[in-house]
Amino acid sequence: MDDCLILEETESTNSVAEGLARDGALHGFAVLAKKQTGGRGRLGRFWVSPGGLGLYCTIILRPNLELIDYPKLTLAAGVAVAEALAGLGVITDLKWPNDIFIAGRKCGGILVESSALEEESANNYALVGIGLNVNTTAVDFDKLSHQAISLRQACGGKIFNIDEIFSVIRKAILAEVCELERHGFARILDRWQRYDLLRGRRARWLRNDGVVVEGLAEGIDDQGQLLVRTDDGVIHPVISGDVNLVQHGSTK
Ligand code: BTN
């Protein structure tokens, strides 16, 4: 594959891809690692990336979109991953904005990072980093085993081919970017709703300023923001931050 860099081990495929994108790597070029030593998640979290057991990849995008629309790439990538996995017989849910869930436990996440978005530039890019627990078992998750799940665990011990999953996911993401460029966000949003884990359920949102807001999740608006209706009837559009389901007094 000459449009792909495959590494045995790296700190983070997003970091490698960032360097390549700055040096002019083309739309669709991907970095795939067998193992990451410093995999990054959203909000500064660590992404556990044991060798040979998961998918750790980053796809470089140079979408023909306004910079203001780049955040929609996270949701577009989520739909692409969910539909690609459905094609492999794995049914997932999407938790806004970037989590992939199976049976209430997290099996994957998407980290979209972009070049400085202050000004239009010929070298603008977005990096779509995807981490997926594929053949991992409870031992590999260690302390996270009650919250995390792999495709293997979800599918009765079946071992999946990680390279095949990478290929179908990359293809699906590139197709989704074309859809976004040609037809806008509306149809992607429609498809996203089918996988929406939060809609109609109580959610607790930790705002970036530390304030906790609790209410009913009412879906996603046409900008990709989550709508949370608090008990006073006010609808809060959530742009960023951490949102979790409220379940019998606890959160997920
Ligand atoms: C999240 O759930 O917070 C997003 C996790 C994204 C992890 C992937 S693994 C491949 C790519 N490289 C990284 O350092 N992070 C992403």
Please indicate, yes or no, whether residues 178 and 224 belong to a single structural domain of this protein: no
The residue among 180, 195, 210 that closes a domain is 195
CATH number at residue 107: 3.30.930.10
In this structure, the answer to whether residues 191 and 210 fall within a common structural domain is no
pLDDT of residue 248: 59
What six digits make up the tokens of 54? 């998961």
- Rounded to whole angstroms, the Cα distance separating 48 from 20 reads 23
Q: Are residues 51 and 163 in the same domain?
A: yes
- Give pLDDT, residue 207: 82
Q: Is 37 in the pocket of ligand 1 (CB under 6 A)?
A: no
Q: What is the domain extent for residue 57?
A: 4-195
Say yes or no: 111 and 187 in one domain: yes
Atom of ligand 1 nearest to the CA of 56: 10
Residue that is last in its domain, among 195, 212, 239 = 195
189 and 227 share a domain?
Answer: no
Is 133 a pocket residue for ligand 1 (Cβ < 6 Å)?
Answer: no
Domain count, the chain: 2
94 with 211, same domain: the answer is no
Q: Whose CA is nearest to atom 2 of ligand 1?
A: 109
pLDDT at 1: 64
Rounded to an integer, what distance in angstroms lies between the CA atom of residue 221 and that of residue 21?
31
Residue 206 Cα to ligand 1 middle (Å): 21
Q: In the listed set 151, 172, 195, which residue is the last one of a domain according to the structure?
A: 195
Q: CA 33 to CA 35: how far, in whole Å?
A: 5
Q: How far is the CA of 232 from the centre of ligand 1 (A)?
A: 36
Q: What is the pLDDT along the chain (252 residues), one digit of tens a residue?
A: 679 999 999 999 999 999 999 999 999 999 999 999 999 998 889 999 999 999 999 999 999 998 889 989 999 999 999 999 999 999 999 999 999 999 999 999 999 999 865 566 678 999 999 999 999 987 777 766 678 999 999 999 999 999 999 999 999 999 999 999 999 999 999 999 999 999 999 999 888 788 888 999 999 999 999 999 999 999 999 888 788 888 754 455
- The string of DSSP codes covering 46-86 is B----TTTEEEEEEEE--SS-GGGTTHHHHHHHHHHHHHHH
- Based on the fold, state whether residues 208 and 188 are members of the same structural domain: no
Distance CA 56, CA 12 (A): 8
Query: What is the CATH classification number for the domain harbouring 216?
Result: 2.30.30.100
Q: Which pLDDT belongs to residue 67? A: 85
Nearest CA to ligand 1 atom 7: 131
